[in-house]
Chain A
Amino acid sequence: MQIEWINLMPELIIFGIAIAVLLGEMYFSTNAKRFLGILSLLGIVAALFSLTSLYGVEATEFMGMFSIDLTATVLKGILLVTTALVVLATSRSRMTIGEGEFYSMMLFSVLGTMFMASANDLIMLFIALELTVLPAYILVGSKKTAGSAEAALKYFLLGLVASVILLYGMSLVYGLTGQTNFTAIANALAGQAIQPLLLVGMVMIVVGLGFKVAAVPFHFWAPDVYEGAPVPVASFLAVGPKAGGFAALIHFFPVALAVAAPIWAGLFAILAVLSMLLGNLAALAQTQVRRLLGYSAVAHTGYLLVGLAVADSFGYTSLIFYFLVYSLAALGSFLVILATTERGLGENVTDFAGLYKRAPMLALAMAIFLFSLVGIPPLAGFMGKVYLFSAAVQGDLIWLAVIGVLNSVVSFGYYVTVIRQMYFVNPPTNEGLPVSKPLYLSIVLIMAAVVFLGVYPSAFLSIINL
């Protein structure tokens, strides 16, 4: 077995940096630990550079367990860029645990997500998934308060049950085919009638992965975790593990279970509708801003699942584009919340009262991110939704597109309450809100990207051949 190590370079770099940062936490002095964030950032940038050399490469490693293809490379790119922004933004934040612990856990989770994006084998997929979520459980519980502990325990127990259900489904698929490789599973299933046991296994896998992306009815952890976890962690969770879940969905179902495509596409359509409706309606009732964003994340899982319900390549590429757009806007809004919580604000929607007068740039950024989440032109969210819903229309799922558009209108209702507070309510004081420079830079970069992708989406779409 010959391994082209160059194809694994991004993963190897992230792995090495994660270990180095963890060791740094043990051996560095308190002063030197401040540089662990910068070290992580440099590592991610190096991984990103080595990833660009893999653009257009199609290969498999480890006897077909690990596949390098365009979807995986692009998803890894999105993941690394967003993680780099999180690391940059939090590099001056007060941590609830040691810097080294925080960044190494984050990097291990990113490593798991990268393997998930490339997994081409049930064993690889399961291990990668666990590597993604185990550090996430630790990070969620890192605040050592009752709320943080409760969120972590709920996340952990529900996640564990979902993993086991996923594993049981995988064992059934393995039992029917005798194979663990996705392509080999597809070959073994080709030309056969769909057996009931395969359907059971498939539904169990949908349940397990549906939990990871927080689709209704497996979403219970999402609002709690976004509210209870420390804000830097919540901002990472909004992008990282979710990317892995969608990468696994895009890889597993179209490749391995191609024979049963109409059935799982129907399942995803149902999950999409439920997630959009329940996420948006529950978000309308929220007064805590992070919980509001938690339900909004559930609703956006619904929009993203539309791409899987379409079940063709246009659907998948629009899903990836919308994922980029969504993760930028969600990450940006969490970083604004991070900036305000560091000054003791940002728990409730009313805390944003008059933010326009106290920190005009933060208010502008938050408004842009929220408008992008609603899908107002000319921002990136609008273009993302245009592609996603036109994929639905082309795939003869006009009803799904209509539900999606109607839901976007409903979602305007809760996003606008935050914007109204920021711009039309008088602040309790006119005292300014100073923001640390790296966090400010990160927010500005995301804001620029959201506007740029809305005006000129083909910059990214040409990368994924749309």
Chain B
Amino acid sequence: MIPLSYYLILSGVLFAIGMAGVLLRRNAVAVLLSVEIMLNSANLNLVAFSRYIAPEQASGQMFALFVMAIGAAEVAVGLALILMIYRNLQSVNLDQFNIFKW
């Protein structure tokens, strides 16, 4: 059986990739995708822990299922907002959103 640490390292790497995408990419859709990678890294953690630490309860797997549903809802809202800002500014580049100073 694959040791638990393999899953944790993979999830850590995915989280880092997602975080790098959030910080470095300037396209709003790409940022959204990066966040989804981070979300899935947390999901991987939950499922792996559920299997290895508490196999008698499936609460971690339950959690992962709820997270997937919430992730889908978030993408729906996020894409709607990106579509709206595209209609206003004809761009989805985060650098061009500068009405407010950061």
Interface residues of A (CB under 8 A from B): 122-123, 126-127, 130, 134, 137-138, 141, 144-147, 149-154, 156-157, 160-161, 163-165, 167-168, 170-172, 174-175, 178-180, 220, 223-224, 227-228
Please, what's the 1-or-0 string for B86-101, where 1 marks a CB less than 8 Å from any CB in chain A?
0011000010010110
- For window 20-79 of B, CB contacts with A under 8 Å fall at 22, 28, 31-32, 35, 38-39, 41-42, 45-46, 48-49, 53-54, 57, 59-60, 62-63, 66-67, 70, 73-74, 77-78
Chain A residue contacts of B97, Cβ below 8 A: 150, 153-154
> Most chain-B Cβ atoms within 10 A of its Cβ — which of A153, A160, A174, A220?
A160
B82 within 8 A of A: yes
The answer to whether A127 and B85 have CB atoms under 8 Å apart is no
The answer to whether B77 and A137 have CB atoms under 8 Å apart is yes
- Chain B binding surface, main DSSP class: helix
Chain B residue contacts of A220, Cβ below 8 A: 102
Chain B residue contacts of A153, Cβ below 8 A: 28, 81-82, 85, 97
Chain B residue contacts of A151, Cβ below 8 A: 100
Interface size on B, residues (CB 8 A): 42
A163 to chain B: closest residue by CB: B74
Since A134-B74, A141-B84, A171-B63 are in contact, a sample of 4 more A-B pairs with Cβ atoms closer than 8 Å, ordered by chain A residue number, is A164-B42, A168-B15, A174-B59, A175-B48
Question: With A123-B59, A160-B78 given, is the CB distance from A178 to B31 under 8 Å?
Answer: no
The answer to whether B77 and A167 have CB atoms under 8 Å apart is no
The answer to whether B49 and A175 have CB atoms under 8 Å apart is yes
Partner of A157, one of B32, B60, B99: B32
The answer to whether B63 and A150 have CB atoms under 8 Å apart is no
Question: With A134-B77, A168-B42 given, is the CB distance from A178 to B100 under 8 Å?
Answer: no
Partner of A161, one of B35, B63, B73, B100: B35
B101 to chain A, nearest CB (A): 9
CA distance A269 to B84 in the complex (A): 39
> Most chain-B Cβ atoms within 10 A of its Cβ — which of A141, A154, A175, A179?
A175
CA distance A153 to B102 in the complex (A): 13
The answer to whether B70 and A150 have CB atoms under 8 Å apart is no
The answer to whether B67 and A175 have CB atoms under 8 Å apart is no
The answer to whether B38 and A164 have CB atoms under 8 Å apart is yes
CA distance A178 to B54 in the complex (A): 5
The answer to whether B74 and A160 have CB atoms under 8 Å apart is yes
